[in-house]
Amino acid sequence: MTSVSLAAGAGWLAVLVLAVALLRMRHRLELVAEASHELRGPVTAISFAVASLRREPGGLRRALAFETELERMRAGLADLEAARSGRRPESRPTPIGVDRLVRGAAAGWRPAAQSNERRLRFRWEGGPVSVRADSGRLAQAFGNLLANAVEHGSGPVELHGRREGGCVRVEVRDDGGGVAKPVPVGFSTAGERGRGLAIAARAVEEAGGTLSVERRPEGGTVASVELPIAEP
C-alpha cells in the first residue's frame, strides 16, 4: 500500500470519527431540549400553585417556603436551555430583598433538615436589606449552601444574616468536614458538593460579592457570603 493510500485512508477515518462525534453531540442536544421542555411545564404549574397559595388565608408564610426554591428552579431551567447553544445565560441583576430570599431558603430546607433528624435555625439582624443581584442566581447560591449543610454536614444547621457596614453577611454553619481555604470562582472538587459550591461562588461573584468556606476552630464548617448593599 502506497503512502498516498495510507494518507487517504487516515483522512477518511478522521472524517468518520468527526461524523460520529457530531451525531452524538446532536443526540445530546436533543436530550437537553427534551429535558428543558419537560421541566418547563412543571415549573409553570408550581408557579401558579404558589401564586394561588399566597391568596389563601395564612398562605403567605407557606408560599415563602417554595418561592426561593422556585427561583432556583427557574435559574436551573435557564441554564439548561442556554446549554443547547454552548453558553451561559446572562445575569439580570435587579434590587432584591436578600433578607426575604434567605428567609425563604431557610423555610424551604427546614423540612429536609427535620427529615434527617436535624434542626435548621434561622436568625436575621438589621431589618430588610436590598442587594443588586439576579434573584434566581442568588437563590441558587443559598440553596446550594443549605443543601451542602443539610445533606453532607451533621448537627444543627445555623443560617444567620446581618448588616456589616455597607455589606450584608450571610453565614451557613454546620458540624461537617468543611474546606480549609476560601472558595474562588470556578472552585471545583469531585462530587456534587464541589459542583454546588462552584455554582454558589459564581452566583455570588456575579452579584459583586464573595464566598468563603472554612473550617471552624471548634469543629464544623462555616460558609460566608458577603454582598454589597444596594444604593437607595
**What is the identity of the amino acid at 9?**
G
Q: How confident is the model over 147-160, as a mean pLDDT?
A: 86
pLDDT of 105 above 70: yes
Burial call 167-201: b when 16+ CB within 10 Å, e when fewer: bbbbbbbbbbebbeeebeeebeeeeebeebbbbbb
Q: Which residue has the higher pLDDT, 7 or 104?
A: 104
pLDDT band with cut points at 50, 70 and 90 for residue 6: very low
14-50: pLDDT as tens digits: 555 555 565 565 655 565 566 665 566 666 666 656 6
pLDDT band with cut points at 50, 70 and 90 for residue 183: very low
Residue 128, C-beta contacts closer than 8 angstroms, at least 6 positions apart: 97, 99, 100
pLDDT for the residue numbered 71: 76
- Please state, in angstroms and rounded to a whole number, the distance separating the CA atoms of residues 181 and 18: 42
57-61, 98-102, 178-182, 211-215 — most confident range: 98-102
193-202: pLDDT as tens digits: 577 888 889 8
pLDDT band with cut points at 50, 70 and 90 for residue 2: low
Cell of 114: 427535620
Which residue carries 429536609 as its cell?
Answer: 112
pLDDT for the residue numbered 176: 66
Q: How confident is the model over 169-181, as a mean pLDDT?
A: 71
Q: Tell me, rounded to whole angstroms, the distance of Cα 140 from its chain centroid.
A: 2
pLDDT of 223 above 50: yes
Count CB-CB contacts under 10 A for residue 222.
Answer: 17
Q: How confident is the model over 212-222, as a mean pLDDT?
A: 80
Pick the CATH number of 94-228 from 3.30.450.20, 3.40.50.1820, 3.90.70.10, 3.30.565.10: 3.30.565.10
Which residue carries 454589597 as its cell?
Answer: 228
Q: 67-81, 92-106, 206-220 — which is least confidently predicted?
A: 67-81
Residue 112, C-beta contacts closer than 8 angstroms, at least 6 positions apart: 150, 151
Please, are residues 102 and 159 in contact by the beta-carbon 8 Å criterion?
A: yes
pLDDT for the residue numbered 104: 87
Q: Which residue has the higher pLDDT, 134 or 41?
A: 134
pLDDT band with cut points at 50, 70 and 90 for residue 227: very high
pTM of the predicted model, to two decimals?
0.71
